[in-house]
């Protein structure tokens, strides 16, 4: 069963590009690929807060594990 990404604001497109990769595109067709549903949800939260997709920093799983 695939993890579900919560509902997202109008204009966003979210597609699963591989087993654990998600591609998120905003209404300006700027896209970002992240690993894991958690990272995808964090990007969506930042977009909902009005942060531009190009300005969002999502730590990699490796960064989180090394912290």
Does the residue 24 lie in any domain?
yes
- Is residue 3 domain-resident? no
The answer on pLDDT for 3 being more than 60 is: no
Three-state SS letters, the chain: CCCCCCCCCCCCEEEECCCCEEEEECCCCCEEEEECHHHHHHHHHHHHCCCCHHHCCCCCHHHHHHC
22-39 pLDDT, tens digit each: 888 888 888 888 888 888
Domain that includes residue 38, residue range? 13-66
Q: What is the mean pLDDT of residues 3-32?
A: 76
In this model, does residue 65 exceed pLDDT 50? yes
Instruction: Kindly report the average pLDDT of the chain as a whole number.
Output: 76
Residue 47 within any structural domain of the chain: yes
| pTM for the full predicted model | 0.68
Total tally of structural domains belonging to the chain: 1
Domain membership of residue 61 (yes or no) is yes
């Amino acid at each position: 069963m695939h993890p579900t990404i919560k509902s997202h604001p109008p204009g966003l497109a979210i597609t699963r590009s591989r087993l654990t990769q998600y591609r998120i595109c905003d209404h300006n067709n700027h896209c970002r690929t992240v690993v894991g549903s958690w990272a995808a949800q964090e990007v969506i939260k930042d977009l909902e807060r009005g942060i531009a997709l190009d300005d969002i920093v999502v730590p990699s799983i490796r960064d989180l594990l090394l912290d």
